[in-house]
Amino acid sequence: MSEPVLQVRALSVDIRGGGDRTSAVANVSFDVAPGEMVCLVGESGSGKSVTASSVMGLLNTANLRLSEGSIKLCGEELVGASKARLRELRGSRMAMVFQEPMTALNPVHRVGDQIAEVLRTHSRGMTRKQIRARVLELMRDVYLPEPERLQYSYPNQLSGGQRQRIVIAMALALKPALIIADEPTTALDVTTQAQILSLLRGLQTRYKTGVLFITHDLGVVAEIADRAIVMQSGRIVEEGPALEVLTRPKHRYTRMLLDALPVAVARPPRFEPDAPIVLAVKDLTKTYDERSLFRKSRSTKAVDGVSFDLRRGEIVGVVGESGSGKSTLARCIARLITVSDGRVEASGSDVAKLPNRSLSGYRRKLQMVFQDPYRSLNPRMTVAQLIGEGMANIGLSQREANERTRRLLDLIGLDHSVTSRYPHQFSGGQRQRICIARALAMEPEILIADEAVSALDVSVQAQVLDLLEDLRSRLNLAVIFITHDLRVAARICDTVAVMHRGKIVEYGRAVDVFAAPQHEYTKQLFAAAPGTDVLGQMVRH
């Protein structure tokens, strides 16, 4: 084998003034060979991003310190190299692709200029004309449509997938020996993710680039990795050819990750088919008008004639990509926004037409859990206040509220002593449990979970899904579960509604939809889910 492009030996990164953990990365060693795709897998806090930043020389030195080890790029030692040399290497010999294409590009510069900047910085000899030509060539390489026109666009005029292509073009500009891709597809829709993954794979083979691909998603690993390195709490726990790691995991942490992974095979419904209907949505439509004084107004249908019934104890999954209207639908049903047309029937009345001031009764019956547990809890309120606020609103006494809060904490599996603590003292999974307790405090009939597990690590995701499942059967809750993740939907839903451009394109029992999708779009969506083949095989084993 030829010399590795990246050689990391005994790398340790300390956390300055670290509390329960003093090192972010401890004694990590691995290689990346030319033309090899190595996946660094782990949950949040496993040290995978810190490892990547160390290689790039971009560690946040305010709280992290590279204490030991050696990092060699094509044989050249990077630890202790001068800032100027590192700067020369960044962008030219090693490049990076980031997670958030929405924020990774500077909003005030044209995308073409942002690619050109790499060339201008690192290759002095190029003329303006040559740079211009190379930018267009790169944009064609990443399959961007109409590069001549697109190069003059600003990032906000492009879609997430297009932006990620720009970032990749930027990384490829000088044909670096090593590309570090830090969760490059996590923020993208599955179909876009599939395109970007195959793009990266293709370019990497063509340019013989070594790629260090960081991800939390074992599906992605199955899809593209040559080799997989599993990290937990700053250490490497397992390493080997990707297929082997996925199909014959040796370490129990790897096995746990694989077990926690929801499998895209649905189970039969677990609710009474003739249970009473608690919510009936009929031809629900939400139109956004763009009013203008001088032009003809335009209107967009975010939700277009959606109908479905929700029975007591049923979990309906609303599945779709970003922009499909699934969140708008949830917000319409919860009446957080006004409904343009159609009916939302709950306990005999049409909620869609109710004025805001008459909604308090409905609000008690329907509660929501949102995506980001880090932002949906007020940081200045204690757990007791967060859970108790709604109860005080509907006139429960302090004693009754405290009583119910304790019962809820039992239900979600948190200790009674946490009531005086603040959200920042909890982990993501715990926070989402608190959000669920807050929602349940009103003793609702219906719970809407809007991407409630999307921001969580798989192992935590599994716990929260189990909790929801458990609550459904114990409290006979009806749940509308909104998600972009098919595997999550398969795991928890009885019924599935697939949304595309504001419409439900497919609706049916989860087992049927997952076993034999009818609509073309659903088929596409399923095909795009990363690692379906490998992981599907695994299940059968």
Partner 1 sequence: MLRFLIKRLIATLPVVVGVAIVVFLILRLAPGDPAAVLAGGTATPETVAEIRQKLGLDAPLLTQFFTWAGLVLHGNLGTSIITHQPVWNLILQRAEPTLSLGATTFVVSIVFAVPLGVLAAWYHQTWVDRVVMIISVLGFSIPAFVVGYLLVYLFAIDLKWLPVQGFANISRGIGPFISYITLPTITLSLFYGALIARITRASILEVLGEDYIRTARAKGLRESTVMTRHALRVAAGPIISIVGIGLAMLISGALITESVFNLPGLGRLTVDAVMSRDYPVIQGLILVLSLVYILINVLVDIAYAVVDPRIRY
Q: Which helix (H) or strand (E) holds 299?
A: strand 298-311
Q: Which is nearer to partner 1, 103 or 518 (CB)?
A: 103
Residues 6 or more apart from 359 whose CB is under 8 A from it? 335, 351
Query: Of the candidates 22, 29, 121, 123, which one interacts with partner 1 according to CB under 8 A?
Result: 121
What are the CB-based long-range contacts (under 8 Å, 24+) for 194-199?
194/527, 194/528, 194/529, 194/530, 195/161, 196/161, 196/164, 196/165, 196/168, 197/223, 197/224, 197/530, 199/142, 199/143, 199/165, 199/168
**Between residue 151 and residue 180, which ones bind partner 1 under the rule CB under 8 A?**
154, 156, 167, 170
Q: How far is the CB of 87 from partner 1 (least distance, A)?
A: 5
Give how many residues touch partner 1 by CB under 8 A: 29
Q: Which is nearer to partner 1, 48 or 90 (CB)?
A: 90
Query: Of the candidates 100, 443, 469, 512, which one interacts with partner 1 according to CB under 8 A?
Result: 100
Q: How far is the CB of 5 from partner 1 (least distance, A)?
A: 17
x/- binding map, residues 69-98, to partner 1, per CB under 8 A?
Answer: ------------------xxxxxx--xx-x
Q: How far is the CB of 58 from partner 1 (least distance, A)?
A: 6
Tokens of residue 518, six digits: 């009818």
Listed ranges 116-124, 308-316, 417-425, 444-452: which one lies at the site for partner 1 (CB under 8 A): 116-124
116 belongs to the binding site for partner 1 (CB under 8 A): no
Among 93, 24, 98, smallest CA distance to 54 is for: 24
372 belongs to the binding site for partner 1 (CB under 8 A): no
539 belongs to the binding site for partner 1 (CB under 8 A): no
Q: How far is the CB of 100 from partner 1 (least distance, A)?
A: 5
Count of alpha carbons within 13 angstroms of residue 456, beta-carbon side: 26
Q: Which is nearer to partner 1, 103 or 358 (CB)?
A: 103
3-class SS of residue 185? coil
Q: Which is nearer to partner 1, 120 or 353 (CB)?
A: 120
106 belongs to the binding site for partner 1 (CB under 8 A): yes
Other C-beta atoms closer than 10 Å to the C-beta of 539 total: 10
Tokens of residue 487, six digits: 């595997």
Q: Which is nearer to partner 1, 268 or 379 (CB)?
A: 379
Listed ranges 108-116, 332-340, 390-398, 428-436: which one lies at the site for partner 1 (CB under 8 A): 108-116
Q: Give me the helices (H) in 142-214, please.
A: 147-150, 160-172, 190-207
Among 499, 498, 494, smallest CA distance to 315 is for: 494
Paired with 277 in beta bridges are 311
Residues forming contacts to partner 1 in the complex (CB under 8 A) are 56, 58, 87-92, 95-96, 98, 100, 103-110, 117-118, 121-122, 154, 156, 167, 170, 294
